[in-house]
Amino acid sequence: MGYSDQRFDVNLSILFTELPLLERPAAAAAAGFKAVELWWPWVETPTPERSELDALKQAIEDAGVQLVGLNFYAGQLPGPDRGALSIPGEESERFRANVDVAADFARSLGCTALNALYGNRVDGVDPAAQDELALENLVLAARAAHRVGAVLLVEALNAPESPHCPIVSAPKAVEIVDKVNEATGLGNAKFLMDLYHLSMNGEDLPRAIAAYADKTGHVQIADNPGRGAPGSGSLPLEDLLDQVRKAGYEGWIGLEYKPGDRPSHESFDWLPAGARG
Protein backbone atom coordinates (compact mmCIF):
# COMPACT_ATOMS: atom_id res chain seq x y z
CA MET A 1 0.00 0.00 0.00
CA GLY A 2 1.04 3.65 0.21
CA TYR A 3 -0.09 7.11 -0.77
CA SER A 4 -1.18 5.87 -4.19
CA ASP A 5 -3.78 3.64 -2.53
CA GLN A 6 -5.52 6.53 -0.72
CA ARG A 7 -8.09 9.12 -1.81
CA PHE A 8 -6.98 12.63 -0.90
CA ASP A 9 -8.98 15.84 -0.85
CA VAL A 10 -7.63 19.32 -0.23
CA ASN A 11 -8.86 21.71 2.46
CA LEU A 12 -9.39 25.06 0.77
CA SER A 13 -9.38 26.93 4.08
CA ILE A 14 -5.71 26.23 4.75
CA LEU A 15 -4.36 25.50 1.25
CA PHE A 16 -4.69 27.85 -1.74
CA THR A 17 -5.48 30.68 0.68
CA GLU A 18 -3.17 32.90 -1.37
CA LEU A 19 -6.12 33.03 -3.78
CA PRO A 20 -9.60 34.52 -3.33
CA LEU A 21 -12.11 31.95 -2.07
CA LEU A 22 -13.96 31.62 -5.37
CA GLU A 23 -10.74 30.84 -7.24
CA ARG A 24 -9.61 28.04 -4.96
CA PRO A 25 -11.82 25.20 -6.27
CA ALA A 26 -10.45 25.68 -9.80
CA ALA A 27 -6.89 25.84 -8.45
CA ALA A 28 -7.42 22.53 -6.63
CA ALA A 29 -8.77 21.00 -9.84
CA ALA A 30 -5.78 22.32 -11.80
CA ALA A 31 -3.50 20.60 -9.26
CA GLY A 32 -5.26 17.32 -10.03
CA PHE A 33 -7.67 17.05 -7.10
CA LYS A 34 -11.20 15.82 -7.55
CA ALA A 35 -12.48 16.67 -4.06
CA VAL A 36 -12.24 19.54 -1.58
CA GLU A 37 -13.35 20.43 1.94
CA LEU A 38 -13.85 23.72 3.75
CA TRP A 39 -14.05 25.29 7.16
CA TRP A 40 -17.09 27.58 7.31
CA PRO A 41 -15.87 30.22 4.81
CA TRP A 42 -17.70 33.22 6.27
CA VAL A 43 -16.09 33.65 9.68
CA GLU A 44 -17.99 36.86 10.41
CA THR A 45 -21.46 35.46 9.83
CA PRO A 46 -23.28 32.15 10.18
CA THR A 47 -25.90 33.28 7.67
CA PRO A 48 -24.31 34.82 4.57
CA GLU A 49 -26.33 36.32 1.76
CA ARG A 50 -27.84 33.83 -0.67
CA SER A 51 -25.74 35.39 -3.43
CA GLU A 52 -22.54 34.45 -1.56
CA LEU A 53 -23.68 30.87 -1.03
CA ASP A 54 -24.68 30.58 -4.67
CA ALA A 55 -21.38 32.03 -5.89
CA LEU A 56 -19.34 29.48 -3.92
CA LYS A 57 -21.60 26.66 -5.04
CA GLN A 58 -21.15 27.74 -8.66
CA ALA A 59 -17.36 27.97 -8.27
CA ILE A 60 -17.21 24.41 -6.90
CA GLU A 61 -19.46 23.06 -9.64
CA ASP A 62 -17.61 24.94 -12.40
CA ALA A 63 -14.30 23.50 -11.16
CA GLY A 64 -15.71 19.97 -11.36
CA VAL A 65 -14.67 19.05 -7.83
CA GLN A 66 -16.73 17.35 -5.14
CA LEU A 67 -17.27 18.99 -1.75
CA VAL A 68 -16.70 16.16 0.72
CA GLY A 69 -16.52 18.04 4.03
CA LEU A 70 -17.81 21.29 5.51
CA ASN A 71 -17.55 22.83 8.97
CA PHE A 72 -20.52 24.36 10.67
CA TYR A 73 -19.93 27.95 11.82
CA ALA A 74 -17.08 27.92 14.34
CA GLY A 75 -16.26 31.55 15.01
CA GLN A 76 -12.93 33.02 13.98
CA LEU A 77 -11.14 30.01 12.50
CA PRO A 78 -8.19 30.02 12.45
CA GLY A 79 -8.12 32.13 15.56
CA PRO A 80 -8.83 32.16 19.26
CA ASP A 81 -12.45 30.94 19.13
CA ARG A 82 -11.98 27.54 17.52
CA GLY A 83 -15.59 26.56 17.95
CA ALA A 84 -18.90 28.00 19.05
CA LEU A 85 -21.47 25.38 19.97
CA SER A 86 -20.57 25.11 23.67
CA ILE A 87 -20.15 28.84 24.31
CA PRO A 88 -23.21 30.33 26.05
CA GLY A 89 -24.82 33.41 24.60
CA GLU A 90 -24.22 34.90 21.19
CA GLU A 91 -21.80 32.29 19.87
CA SER A 92 -24.06 29.29 20.49
CA GLU A 93 -26.97 31.26 19.05
CA ARG A 94 -24.91 31.94 15.94
CA PHE A 95 -24.12 28.24 15.71
CA ARG A 96 -27.81 27.36 15.88
CA ALA A 97 -28.64 29.94 13.22
CA ASN A 98 -26.04 28.29 10.99
CA VAL A 99 -27.08 24.66 11.35
CA ASP A 100 -29.72 24.50 8.64
CA VAL A 101 -27.87 26.97 6.41
CA ALA A 102 -24.74 24.79 6.42
CA ALA A 103 -26.69 21.55 6.11
CA ASP A 104 -28.67 22.81 3.12
CA PHE A 105 -25.52 24.12 1.45
CA ALA A 106 -23.88 20.73 1.96
CA ARG A 107 -26.88 18.96 0.46
CA SER A 108 -26.84 21.25 -2.58
CA LEU A 109 -23.37 19.95 -3.43
CA GLY A 110 -23.73 16.33 -2.33
CA CYS A 111 -21.47 16.84 0.69
CA THR A 112 -21.94 14.07 3.24
CA ALA A 113 -19.76 15.16 6.20
CA LEU A 114 -20.40 18.14 8.49
CA ASN A 115 -17.90 19.02 11.23
CA ALA A 116 -19.10 20.67 14.47
CA LEU A 117 -16.29 22.14 16.57
CA TYR A 118 -16.64 22.39 20.34
CA GLY A 119 -15.91 25.78 21.88
CA ASN A 120 -13.33 26.87 24.42
CA ARG A 121 -14.00 26.79 28.12
CA VAL A 122 -15.35 30.13 29.33
CA ASP A 123 -14.16 31.71 32.58
CA GLY A 124 -16.90 31.88 35.18
CA VAL A 125 -19.12 29.30 33.47
CA ASP A 126 -19.58 25.82 34.92
CA PRO A 127 -17.92 23.34 32.52
CA ALA A 128 -20.86 20.98 33.08
CA ALA A 129 -23.23 23.69 31.85
CA GLN A 130 -21.10 24.15 28.74
CA ASP A 131 -21.13 20.42 28.11
CA GLU A 132 -24.90 20.29 28.51
CA LEU A 133 -25.26 23.13 25.99
CA ALA A 134 -22.82 21.38 23.66
CA LEU A 135 -24.77 18.15 23.68
CA GLU A 136 -28.00 20.01 22.98
CA ASN A 137 -26.42 21.75 19.99
CA LEU A 138 -24.68 18.62 18.73
CA VAL A 139 -28.01 16.80 18.78
CA LEU A 140 -29.49 19.64 16.74
CA ALA A 141 -26.60 19.39 14.28
CA ALA A 142 -26.80 15.60 14.05
CA ARG A 143 -30.48 15.79 13.17
CA ALA A 144 -29.81 18.42 10.51
CA ALA A 145 -26.99 16.30 9.09
CA HIS A 146 -29.25 13.26 9.04
CA ARG A 147 -31.90 15.26 7.18
CA VAL A 148 -29.47 15.93 4.34
CA GLY A 149 -27.88 12.48 4.31
CA ALA A 150 -24.66 13.47 6.06
CA VAL A 151 -22.64 12.37 9.07
CA LEU A 152 -21.82 14.69 11.96
CA LEU A 153 -18.11 14.85 12.74
CA VAL A 154 -16.65 15.48 16.20
CA GLU A 155 -12.98 16.45 16.19
CA ALA A 156 -10.29 16.44 18.83
CA LEU A 157 -8.00 19.48 18.69
CA ASN A 158 -4.68 19.61 20.54
CA ALA A 159 -3.86 21.03 23.94
CA PRO A 160 -0.65 22.93 23.06
CA GLU A 161 -2.41 25.02 20.39
CA SER A 162 -5.90 25.03 21.91
CA PRO A 163 -5.33 25.00 25.68
CA HIS A 164 -8.89 26.06 26.50
CA CYS A 165 -10.60 23.43 24.34
CA PRO A 166 -11.92 20.48 26.39
CA ILE A 167 -11.81 18.02 23.47
CA VAL A 168 -8.11 17.31 23.07
CA SER A 169 -7.87 13.52 22.87
CA ALA A 170 -9.30 10.76 20.74
CA PRO A 171 -11.02 9.04 23.69
CA LYS A 172 -12.76 12.29 24.69
CA ALA A 173 -13.97 12.98 21.15
CA VAL A 174 -15.29 9.44 20.82
CA GLU A 175 -17.02 9.79 24.20
CA ILE A 176 -18.88 12.81 22.76
CA VAL A 177 -19.70 10.86 19.59
CA ASP A 178 -21.25 8.10 21.67
CA LYS A 179 -23.28 10.56 23.74
CA VAL A 180 -24.69 12.22 20.63
CA ASN A 181 -25.63 8.89 19.07
CA GLU A 182 -27.26 7.77 22.31
CA ALA A 183 -29.26 11.01 22.49
CA THR A 184 -30.46 10.95 18.87
CA GLY A 185 -30.68 7.25 18.11
CA LEU A 186 -29.50 8.11 14.59
CA GLY A 187 -25.98 6.70 14.73
CA ASN A 188 -24.65 9.34 12.36
CA ALA A 189 -22.17 11.00 14.71
CA LYS A 190 -18.59 10.00 13.82
CA PHE A 191 -15.05 10.75 14.94
CA LEU A 192 -12.90 13.07 12.83
CA MET A 193 -9.44 11.53 13.16
CA ASP A 194 -6.88 14.31 12.61
CA LEU A 195 -3.49 12.65 12.90
CA TYR A 196 -1.70 15.98 13.36
CA HIS A 197 -3.80 16.98 16.36
CA LEU A 198 -3.51 13.52 17.92
CA SER A 199 0.26 13.54 17.48
CA MET A 200 0.48 16.99 19.07
CA ASN A 201 -1.36 15.52 22.05
CA GLY A 202 1.25 12.79 22.32
CA GLU A 203 -1.20 9.98 21.63
CA ASP A 204 -0.17 6.50 20.54
CA LEU A 205 -1.31 6.83 16.92
CA PRO A 206 -1.32 3.12 15.96
CA ARG A 207 -3.36 2.37 19.10
CA ALA A 208 -5.82 5.19 18.36
CA ILE A 209 -6.22 4.02 14.77
CA ALA A 210 -6.88 0.44 15.84
CA ALA A 211 -9.30 1.52 18.57
CA TYR A 212 -11.35 4.10 16.67
CA ALA A 213 -11.20 3.42 12.93
CA ASP A 214 -14.65 1.84 13.06
CA LYS A 215 -16.10 5.06 14.51
CA THR A 216 -14.22 7.37 12.15
CA GLY A 217 -16.11 9.40 9.56
CA HIS A 218 -13.19 11.39 8.15
CA VAL A 219 -9.40 11.56 8.42
CA GLN A 220 -7.17 14.64 8.13
CA ILE A 221 -3.38 14.89 8.04
CA ALA A 222 -0.47 17.28 8.41
CA ASP A 223 3.09 16.54 9.45
CA ASN A 224 4.48 17.30 12.89
CA PRO A 225 6.25 19.44 13.92
CA GLY A 226 5.17 22.45 11.91
CA ARG A 227 1.82 21.35 10.46
CA GLY A 228 3.43 21.19 7.04
CA ALA A 229 3.20 18.79 4.11
CA PRO A 230 4.05 15.11 4.60
CA GLY A 231 7.81 14.76 4.70
CA SER A 232 8.37 18.16 6.29
CA GLY A 233 8.26 16.71 9.80
CA SER A 234 8.80 13.37 11.47
CA LEU A 235 5.39 11.65 11.37
CA PRO A 236 5.41 8.36 9.41
CA LEU A 237 2.22 9.40 7.63
CA GLU A 238 2.41 6.92 4.76
CA ASP A 239 2.65 4.04 7.21
CA LEU A 240 -0.05 5.50 9.47
CA LEU A 241 -2.45 5.85 6.55
CA ASP A 242 -1.77 2.25 5.58
CA GLN A 243 -2.81 1.32 9.12
CA VAL A 244 -5.95 3.44 8.80
CA ARG A 245 -6.89 1.63 5.58
CA LYS A 246 -6.12 -1.81 7.00
CA ALA A 247 -8.29 -0.98 10.03
CA GLY A 248 -11.27 -0.58 7.70
CA TYR A 249 -11.50 3.14 6.92
CA GLU A 250 -12.10 3.63 3.20
CA GLY A 251 -13.04 7.32 3.03
CA TRP A 252 -11.30 10.52 2.05
CA ILE A 253 -8.04 11.75 3.56
CA GLY A 254 -8.17 15.52 3.98
CA LEU A 255 -4.98 17.50 3.43
CA GLU A 256 -5.09 20.14 6.16
CA TYR A 257 -1.52 21.38 6.22
CA LYS A 258 0.26 24.69 5.73
CA PRO A 259 2.11 24.97 2.40
CA GLY A 260 4.94 26.98 3.91
CA ASP A 261 6.63 29.80 2.02
CA ARG A 262 5.70 28.47 -1.43
CA PRO A 263 2.52 28.55 -3.49
CA SER A 264 0.09 25.81 -2.49
CA HIS A 265 0.29 24.02 -5.83
CA GLU A 266 4.00 23.40 -5.23
CA SER A 267 3.35 21.66 -1.90
CA PHE A 268 1.98 18.44 -3.41
CA ASP A 269 5.27 17.06 -4.78
CA TRP A 270 5.10 14.21 -2.24
CA LEU A 271 1.74 12.99 -3.59
CA PRO A 272 1.35 10.79 -6.70
CA ALA A 273 -0.95 12.42 -9.25
CA GLY A 274 -3.18 9.35 -9.26
CA ALA A 275 -3.98 9.74 -5.54
CA ARG A 276 -5.49 13.21 -5.88
CA GLY A 277 -9.05 11.94 -5.75
Cα dihedral 197, 78, 135, 200, rounded to 10, equals: 10
Q: What is the pLDDT of residue 101?
A: 98
Which pLDDT does position 1 carry in this prediction? 63
Top CATH class of 3-190 equals alpha beta
DSSP string spanning 96-162? Answer: HHHHHHHHHHHHHTT--EEE-PPPPP-TTS-HHHHHHHHHHHHHHHHHHHHHTT-EEEEE---TTT-
Work out the angle between the directed axes of helices 170-184 and 205-212 (0-180°, nearest 10). 10
* Threshold 0.95, pTM exceeds: yes
Amino acid at site 27: A
Distance between CA atoms of 181 and 35, rounded to whole angstroms? 28
Residue-level pLDDT at 119: 95
- Residues of the chain with confidence (pLDDT) below 70: 1, 80-81
Q: Which residues are catalytic?
A: 155, 256
pLDDT value of position 277: 73
Provide the pLDDT for residue 4.
87
Q: Cα(105)–Cα(56) distance, rounded to whole angstroms?
A: 10
Amino acid 152: pLDDT:
99
Domain borders along the chain are 3-190
d(CA 192, CA 256): 12
